[in-house]
Amino acid sequence: MDTINALILAIGFLGALGIVATIVAPRLGVPILFVFLVVGMLAGEDGPGGIHFSNFWFANFAGSMALAVILFDGGLKTDSGDFRIGLKPAGLLATVGVLLTAGVVALVAHWLLPLSWMEAFLLGAVVSSTDAAAVFGTLHSQRVGLNHRLRSVLEIESGANDPMAVLLTIGLVEALSAEGGMSASHALMFFVVQLGGGALIGWGGGRLLSWTLGRLRLPDPLYPLLAFFGALLIFGLAASVEASGFLATYLAGITLARQRPPAMRDVLRFHDGIAWMAQVGLFLILGLLATPHELPALLWPALGVGAALIFLARPLAVALCLWPLRFPWREQAFIAWVGLRGGVPIVLATYPLLAELPAARVIFDVAFFLVLMSLLLQGSTVAWAARQLNLLMPQVRTRVHRAEFDLPGQSGWEILSYRVAKGSQPVGRTVKQLGLPDASRVVCVIRDGRLLPYAQWGRLNAGDRISLLARPEELPALDALFERAKSADLKLRDAYLGLFHLSPEAGTAEVLQAYGAQPPAGVEQETLKQTLRRLLPQPVEGDRVRLAGVELTVRRLEEGRIAEVGLRLPKAEPEEH
Amino acid sequence: MKLAEILSASRVVAGVTVTSKKRALEEMSKLLAKGAGTVTDAEIFTSLTSREKLGSTGLGHGVAIPHGRMSGVENSIGALIRLKHPVDYDAHDGQTVDLLFGLVVPQQATETHLKHLAAIAELFSDEAFCKQARAAADDAALYALVTSRS
């Protein structure tokens, strides 16, 4: 009994300590995940905690489950807009990029460490997957963001390269432990079944799960749980037929998100929490698992392999994958730098240990060191790198008050409540003048705490609360209508997106001539929209193009089309007062 | 760059009454023509409106910077109008406009053009400054305010 109580105490203490430490982490500029890892290490055998934990089977089990949950959540959060923009580059990075990374790392590892070619390639595979959570965590805490293309590429890559890295690792472990290795046809079969089966089960399972969620009458709290266990079921099913459970779970999440069953928002919120918990648990366990006293012996070769990964393998893989897509070079440089390694390499490093490969210990220790090195070196310089490359998009902190409700029996409708803020556009207008797609969708107006009858709505006052029925895709427009942004934020946004607004239909040549620039050949008959489309194959908000010395930006997109163009001015010269 | 170099007291007017964006631009053209030598206000008006056709020069929060390039103009000329009643200016934030800073620059001035615009925009994106400009008692006070700040 005492050990059980002590265990619960330890879990509670470590978890709470780790979460409180997340407040400190952004101030130190290190990724939050690094803090959990350190807390785990401090609790472990080489730290004051002194807990001896070397159960690799349990670490592998817990790690796989945590990873499945994190991937499912990642899939749920990926919307179709992300896909349109990010699928091709991220898909290349997650396949060709992973192989290239593993290959280059293997070259260096074979040279620096006592590993055979096959073992060195295994090490490469183990460390080939990236983690985007750490990137966004750091940026978010500093109130800056990246453009949509960078966000979707990093996010989809981070999700899609996990199954690929797992696949490579398992395949190599099997080949290394099999007598006489693995034949080429066997290896090909392995890949086809893993990828094809995983994709099929994930897609089918996601649709089935969505259908079930829409059909069953359950108490509200049970919908997210059903989705959760459904995801584990899909993972297990796929794994039981030698297909990739990670790929299946990730795709199931994506499929579910596209189907949008009625309880979707509860499902999302629940998995947000569960994924956090999985991250925390994963890193604590991995921290506990580490044996830092073994690291010094491997310090120099591990440093060499880490440097090869960060400065050689990743940039090379990124350049070869993204150059053919005409990806902007600044964004390529950023993606190359923020190839952060998270928990996945450490989880993968337990596979060779479980298979009792002779090189397993070296692989595990080096992988662990690489993750620490990457989190520290790259993780703490994410915002710095984005600033150097001029990629930080200022974020406007809107004061939108939004309360959301589910509408029973309907999917895709929400009731939203906004507080009409002082100085925002709706003040002084009637509901009809708001320019809503259908004014009758306003459900009620509350003024001075009183629900007003329709006849008394009149013009809106600051402080009124207004509730309306809306579709999720109308959210951005509604948020913009009710936003009251801080003027300092708007100033930064204007500096980035361009102060003057130009009509996308304006002639490019006329705009350039208005500012004394000589229009380059080819733009004579074009509108701004056409010119930008030609120069930017896949435009996202914040994209910039310099034409004959005039800098144009994509200010706003509407369903992928350029809806507003900005004109950027050179920085005003410092003035004397 | 100092805005005082392109502005003169005679081209700063507080309390103009107009009913539309077009009328506001006409008033602005007349004011700018005072400093433009042989160039007529009609020519300036054409230049300003053709720029507006490419996209409103309204910056938001009630400020607009109509501008254009003109042959026949020797130096950059600025003018400032404060409207008595704000007019609809097709600004992207949907708000009406009551502060207008007009600018015409010589045909060949490309770099200076953009720098002037940036300096004017910098000044008028300061909320506190706009508040003071709206509260200035008369033409002279408004002129004094702008020249003291830049």
Residue of chain A minimizing CA distance to B124: A491
Choice among B67, B85, B92, B113 that is catalytic: B67
DSSP string, A471-524: -GGGHHHHHHHH----HHHHHHHHHHH-SEEE-TTSBHHHHHHHTT--PPTT-T
pLDDT digits (tens, 9 = 90+) for A211-227: 999 888 888 889 999 99
Which of A505, A526, A569 has the highest number of chain B CBs within 10 A, making it the mutation to test binding with B? A569
How large is the average pLDDT for residues A258-274? 86
Q: Give the residue from B59, B140, B146, B127 showing the smallest Cα distance to A498.
A: B59
CATH number among 1.20.1530.20, 3.90.226.10, 3.40.50.1000, 3.10.129.10, domain A2-287+299-388: 1.20.1530.20
pLDDT greater than 50 at residue A574:
no
- d(C-alpha A29, C-alpha A395), whole Å: 19
- Give pLDDT, residue B126: 81
Contact check, Cβ <8 Å, B59/A499: yes
Q: What is the pLDDT of residues B97-110, one digit of tens each?
A: 999 999 998 887 77
**Best of A502, A510, A515 to disrupt the B interface by mutation (most B CBs within 10 Å)?**
A515
> pLDDT tens across B29-43, in order?
999 998 877 888 899
- For this structure, is B61 an active site residue? no
Distance CA B28, CA B11 (A): 9
Domain ranges of chain A: 2-287+299-388, 399-482, 488-572
Checking if the pLDDT of A560 tops 80, the result is no
In chain B, whose CA is at the least distance from the CA of A507? B54
Calculate the average pLDDT of chain A. 85
How far is residue B51 from each of residues A270, A407, B45, B103, measured CA to CA in Å?
Answer: 52, 48, 10, 12
**For the ranges A32-36, A60-64, A142-146, A216-220, the one whose mean pLDDT is highest:** A60-64
Percent of chain A with pLDDT over 70: 92
Find the Cα–Cα–Cα–Cα dihedral A51, A55, A56, A62, rounded to 10°. -80
Residues sharing a CB contact under 8 Å with residue A574, sequence separation 6 or more, in sequence order: none
Interatomic CA distance for residues A265 and A257, integer angstroms: 10
Is residue A128's pLDDT more than 90?
yes
Contact state of B127 with A487 under an 8 Å Cβ cutoff: yes
Q: pLDDT: is A397 or A539 the higher one?
A: A539
Helices first, then strands: H and E counts in chain B: 5, 6
Amino acid found at A422: K
Residue pair B76/B39 in contact by the 8 Å Cβ criterion: no
Cα separation, A130 vs A334, in Å, equals 14
pLDDT of residue A404: 60
Q: Which residues of A touch B (CB under 8 A)?
A: 425, 487, 490-491, 494, 499-503, 506-507, 510-511, 514-517, 549, 564-565, 567, 569-573, 575
What is the predicted pLDDT for the residue at A475? 73
pLDDT band at A398 (very low <50, low <70, confident <90, very high): low
Hey, how many other C-beta atoms are within 10 angstroms of the C-beta on A404? 12
Summarised one tens digit per residue, pLDDT across range A45-54 is 888 888 888 8
How many CB atoms neighbour CB B135 within 10 A? 10
Phi, psi values for residue A455, rounded to 5°: -60, -20
Please report, in angstroms and rounded to a whole number, the separation of the first and last CA atoms in chain A. 75
Note the CATH architecture for domain A488-572.
Answer: 2-Layer Sandwich (3.30)
**Cβ atoms of A325 and A92 closer than 8 Å:** yes
Find out whether A134 and A375 touch, Cβ atoms under 8 Å: yes
User: Which residue in B61, B63, B55, B130 sits closest to B101, CA to CA?
Assistant: B63
Q: What is the mean pLDDT of residues A224-241?
A: 95
pLDDT at A200: 96
pLDDT confidence of A396, banded at 50, 70, 90? low
Q: Which CATH code is given to the segment(s) A399-482?
A: 3.30.70.1450
Cα–Cα distance measured from residue A572 to residue A343, given in angstroms and rounded to the nearest whole number:
46
CB contact under 8 Å between B119 and A575, yes or no, is yes
3-state DSSP assignment of residue B26: helix
Which two three-digit tokens encode residue A534?
């030609």
Instruction: Give the gap in angstroms from C-alpha A330 to the nearest C-alpha of chain B.
Output: 25
pLDDT at A482: 76
Closest Cα to residue B49, out of B104, B8, B12?
A: B104
Q: How many CA atoms lie within 13 A of A430 on its CB side?
A: 9
Q: Which residues of A touch B56 (CB under 8 A)?
A: 501
Q: Decide if B115 and A515 are in contact by the 8 Å CB cutoff.
A: no
> Is B71 part of the contact surface with chain A (CB cutoff 8 Å)?
no
Domains along chain B? 3-149 (3.40.930.10)
Nearest CA in chain B to A527: B54
Question: How near does any CA of chain A get to the CA of B17, in Å?
Answer: 22
Residue A400 has pLDDT above 50, yes or no: yes
Strand segments, DSSP code E, in A509-573 are 544-547, 550-558, 561-568
| Contact with chain A for residue B150, Cβ under 8 A | yes
- For B76-135, give the DSSP string: -EEEEEEEEEEE----TT---EEEEEEEEEETT-SHHHHHHHHHHHHHHT-HHHHHHHHH
Asked whether residue A577 carries a pLDDT value surpassing 60, the answer given is: no
Helix H or strand E segment including A416? strand A414-419
Distance CA A565, CA A522 (A): 19
